[in-house]
Amino acid sequence: MLSYTLKRILNAVVVLWFVITITFFLMHAIPGGPFTGEKNLPPAVMKNIEERYKLNDPLWKQYTDYMVNLGHLDLGPSFKYQGRSVNNIIAEGFPVSFQLGMNSIVLAVVLGIPAGVISALKRNKWQDRTIMFLTTLGVAVPSFVLAAALIHVFAIKLSLLPAAMWSGWKFQILPSVALAGMPTSYIARLTRSSMLDVLGQDYIKTAKAKGVAQYVIMYRHALKNGLIPVVTYIGPMAAGILTGSFVIETLFAIPGLGRHFVTSIYNRDYTVILGVTIFYSFLVVALNMLVDLIYPLLDPRIKLGGKQEG
């Protein structure tokens, strides 16, 4: 277990290094820089700016400087938002995105898994058909359409909830639901198919033949195994949702981190592009690792370290 974890951590460091390096050189390869504007600046002015932000250093030097600073967990200053550091931007945006994301993940798990179980148990009955219809819709309808519909109904028609901004629990409801729509549906469908798979297994039939109560079969035998694909999905999904959604944050005017993934590229705000990419990659890698460590708790057949028993 320990050596496995260490190996994974080492692995993760290499992955992160790859991500940083590739992002660094790719982003410098795109035409235009952070200070390319419609107005052409006099050469002296441009030189002063490049000097200040060390943009006239050779690329390899900018890269090594960046890596050294990163070693001190310093992600550098933003080029666009003068006087603000990338650490500061992440520290301010992430808690908001995290709150919103947690709401959505909890919603998705609490609604999605039971819906999937019910669907599997009532296969081809009306309950199953209804849930499958709704979840097909949920997977197919993009979050911003759902968001627009929610704003229309709950904010504008019924005036129950605010249409935008972020300053209290009331402001969290609509964006959380809008963001949860897709993962909820996906989790429900995933749970259903894997439950159906598990329910057809011999050991379930054996349990049934032995007269074990239905809920015990469901809870103790079927669900645990049935949830493995769901847990696999939740790991990376959580990383994506927790770091914020550009569309939802834009539509609801939420001051989260999600916007920076997109706007930093438009702005060629190099340090912000790298900062949020590193942060996101770190979360994905960490959560995937966490998921892998959880597997053996769910299914004793899975052993860490590679050896599998039949």
Partner 1 sequence: MSNRLIVLAIIMVMLGTMLAGCGGSASQEQVMRLYMGAEPETLDPDKATGVPDANYLQAMFEGLTEMDGEGLIVPAAAEKWEVSPDGLKYTFHLRANKWSNGDPVTARDFEYAWKRLLNPATASTYAYMLFSLKGAEAYNSGKGSADAVGVKALDDNTLEVTFEKPTAYFLALCTHQSTYPVNQKVVEANGDKWAGEVSTLVGNGPFKVTEWVHNGKLVMVKNDQYRDKDKVKLARIEWILIEESGTALSMFENNQLEYVWEPPMAEVERLKKENKLQLSKLFGSYYYEFNTKKAPFDNPKVRRALALAVDREAIAKNVLHDVHKPADAWVPYGFTNPITKQDFREEGGALFQTNVEEAKKLLAEAGYPDGQGMPPITLLYNTNENHKAIAEAVQEMWKKNIGVNVELVNQEWKVYLASRKSGDFQLARAGWNGDYADPMSFGDYLLTNGGNNWGRYGNPVYDKLIETAQNTNDQAVRMQAMHDADKVAIEDMAVLPIYFYTEWYCLSPKVKGLIYPATGVLNLKYVLIQN
List residues near partner 1 by CB under 8 A. 30-33, 35-42, 44-45, 47-49, 51-53, 80-84, 89, 92-93, 142, 144-145, 147-149, 151-152, 155-157, 159, 163-167, 246-247, 250-253, 255, 259, 263, 266, 268
Three-state DSSP class for residue 234:
helix
CB 179 within 8 A of CB 252: no
Smallest gap from Cβ 251 to partner 1, in A, equals 6
Smallest gap from Cβ 230 to partner 1, in A, equals 26
For residues 82 and 124, which CB has a smaller minimum distance to partner 1 in the complex?
A: 82
Residue 116 C-beta-side C-alpha neighbours within 13 Å:
29
Closest CA to 179 of 254, 290, 114, 260: 254
Residue 124 gets the label, from left (phi > 0), alpha (psi -120 to 50) or beta, of: left
Smallest gap from Cβ 252 to partner 1, in A, equals 7
CA of 40: how far to CAs of 27, 44, 274, in Å? 22, 11, 26
Smallest gap from Cβ 37 to partner 1, in A, equals 7
For residues 67 and 253, which CB has a smaller minimum distance to partner 1 in the complex?
A: 253
For residues 81 and 295, which CB has a smaller minimum distance to partner 1 in the complex?
A: 81
For residues 34 and 226, which CB has a smaller minimum distance to partner 1 in the complex?
A: 34
For residues 87 and 193, which CB has a smaller minimum distance to partner 1 in the complex?
A: 87
Residue 249 C-beta-side C-alpha neighbours within 13 Å:
24
For residues 14 and 158, which CB has a smaller minimum distance to partner 1 in the complex?
A: 158
Smallest gap from Cβ 15 to partner 1, in A, equals 26
Smallest gap from Cβ 152 to partner 1, in A, equals 4
CB 218 within 8 A of CB 120: no
Q: Tell me 84's DSSP state.
A: -
Q: Which residues contact 138 (CB under 8 A, 6 or more apart)?
A: 181, 182, 184, 185, 186, 188
